[in-house]
Amino acid sequence: MNQRILIVGGTGFVGTRLRQMIVDRGGKVVVATRNPSAQPVMAGVEYAAMPADLSGFDAVVNLAGEPVFGRRWSDAVKAEIRRSRVEGTRKLVDALKASAQRPKVLVNASAIGIYGDQGERLLPESAKSGVDYLAEVCTAWEREADRAGELGVRVVKLRIGVVLGAGGALKQMLPPFKFGLGGPIGSGAHWMSWIHIDDLCGMVLHALRDETVSGAVNGVAPGACTNKDFSKALGRALSRPAFFPVPPFMLKLMFGEVATVLTSSQRCVPERALKSGYAFKYADVDGALRAILS
């Protein structure tokens, strides 16, 4: 992999793993960050302020965006979540436009939240977008990324599901399960579309090198499962019971509007990744959780 890649948002949970995988495969990484001097030294990785000219890069990966979870959704927080994604991507595409020699591909993060709450319906990339707050944010986010296509840049919009790894969402779920107090949310009938972090980063690498990959790509594993089945799998991986349901009203009291994300049902299918030949390392949730927690 002889590419020089700019990663925006490359210091977080996914970005840290991605830059390591790129370097391990012979690529060179520049991470755009507001605090270059505060970052850890890593072979093959440079840190810099966001460049105004992107000439000299073969590809750009944009993972930037304020966290959706961790704070109650006030109007100000919702505005910042939207701004960080929509305006951040707009500025990135403006930099592409101003570049004398543009990178060939932009892999831009999006999220399966674009589909909204879809119940039992299977959701390939061709499924219609939802109409709630997160769906609207994701739609606007992707619209900004699509502007790069007008500049001759191949655009891949990676609609990311629940990312499983030694951090992220799983880290927040673990404490009650470790004490045998975990369980589904409500009835647990709603669908969860998840992906192991190594497969998500693998899909990014696949998109960087395969010129046939473009447009929306569901960044999820083939083995979507219900929240109830996920809870059972997590209990099995920890050798703990997992039958204490969490009442949805309790989540609402604790987290406010953001709790609706935890009960939305999105049964996504990675149709385009599979058709393009991406081979998943972790296709079932039991295998993914065992690999992380062993």
- Please tell me the distance from the alpha carbon of residue 200 to that of residue 109, in angstroms, as a whole number: 11
Name the H helices within 99-184: 133-146, 168-178
The CATH number of whichever domain residue 277 belongs to comes to 3.40.50.720
Q: Above 90 in pLDDT, residue 249?
A: no
Collapse the DSSP code of 40 into the 3-class scheme (helix H, G, I; strand E, B; otherwise coil) and give the result.
coil
Question: Which is nearest to 204 in space by CA: 103, 63, 85, 39?
Answer: 63
For the entire predicted model, the pTM comes to: 0.96
Instruction: Give the confidence band of 253 by pLDDT, cuts at 50, 70, 90.
Output: confident
For residue 169, the cross-strand partners are: none
Q: Which residue segment(s) compose the domain that 24 sits in?
A: 4-293
Q: Above 90 in pLDDT, residue 254?
A: no
Task: Determine the average pLDDT of the residues in 49-63.
Answer: 96
Task: Determine the average pLDDT of the residues in 66-75.
Answer: 93
- Please tell me the distance from the alpha carbon of residue 220 to that of residue 187, in angstroms, as a whole number: 23
Q: Above 90 in pLDDT, residue 2?
A: no
Domain count, the chain: 1
pLDDT at res. 1: 80
Take residue 239 and report the two structure tokens written for it: 């050798």
Name the H helices within the chain: 13-24, 75-98, 133-146, 168-178, 197-209, 227-238, 248-255, 259-263, 271-275, 285-293
